[in-house]
Amino acid sequence: MAKIVFVGNCQIQSICNAYKSFVSPWTGDDCTFLDAYTFAPEGAAAEMLRAAEILVGQVADFKSNIDIDLVPQHVVKYRVPVVSAGFLWPFGGQPHPNTFSTPYMPLGPYSAEFGDSYLNRMIKRGIDFEEILEKYLQLDANKLVNLDRLLELNLEKQRSRDSVTGFSTANIIEKHFRDEHIFLTPYHPNLRVARSLIQQTFDAMGVGRQRRSRNTVRPFTRAYSAISVSTMRGLIIGTATTAREPSASLNMSLAICASNGTSHSKRVCGSRARSSTRPLLRN
């Protein structure tokens, strides 16, 4: 029985949860998740790290509060790459201007993970709700952002993280992003990528195939940030040089997004399709 601490963001937490569900019942291992971006490296976090026999950390392009390299050498360490598909949300990374914090949701319902800077600029200018929708549906994202280059840069960074950790995630993302909904938000992978990340982590840790193959549940909630029609057209279908003929399901999605103004307006103007979207658009 080993004491294992998983250190990182929500992606590492999902791996920790999978380990608790599919491995610990047979091994008796004690697993704990430590949020590397909330906890300070002293106090309770320091106690957890000192007591650990195994640490599972992340390789990311952004700095966390906790560096597992500072932990004594006798502790076994594994590293997992952060996975991202930010190229699908070229205007992502900025929270809604009217978002709000709650005790159970400190970052608010429309954090940077669900934000859109193009929409935010129009909201701040006080543009009418329906006009925002119309402008967004008419937007040609490829005229504002080089979608091909953005894809290249994202995959290049992913391959760099893969090479450091010995994982293979960039190839999966590149192969499937045109035909599958492989990410819910820029940093929340859907089942295919999440399961691969979990399985490769378990492989590195020496977990048997029989136990790791049990994972068939999506590790993240279904809350998602919609990919804009323009990005789908430009990057996935038409104008980007790396694109190919889309699947039937994507053609269907485009038709629905282009024609269904009411439901789609909730997605593009508030990210999550919730009844509380409209008030957030007001200043």
Low-confidence ranges of the chain (pLDDT < 50): 212-213, 239-283
Question: Hunting for tokens 């996975």 — which residue is that?
Answer: 83
Predicted confidence at residue 239, as pLDDT, reads 43
Predicted confidence at residue 159, as pLDDT, reads 98
Domains, the chain:
3-82+187-212 (3.40.50), 86-148+225-280 (no CATH)
Strand order of the β-sheet with 54-59 is 30-35, 3-8, 54-59, 76-81
**C-alpha–C-alpha distance, residues 57 and 69, integer Å:** 9
Predicted confidence at residue 115, as pLDDT, reads 86
Predicted confidence at residue 108, as pLDDT, reads 82
C-alpha torsion angle, residues 173, 176, 177, 180 (rounded to 10): -130
Predicted confidence at residue 191, as pLDDT, reads 92
Please compute, for residue 253, the number of CA atoms within 13 A of its CA located in the half-sphere on the CB side: 19
Element (H, E) at 132: helix 129-138
Please compute, for residue 143, the number of CA atoms within 13 A of its CA located in the half-sphere on the CB side: 5
Element (H, E) at 183: strand 183-185
One-letter amino acid at 141 equals A
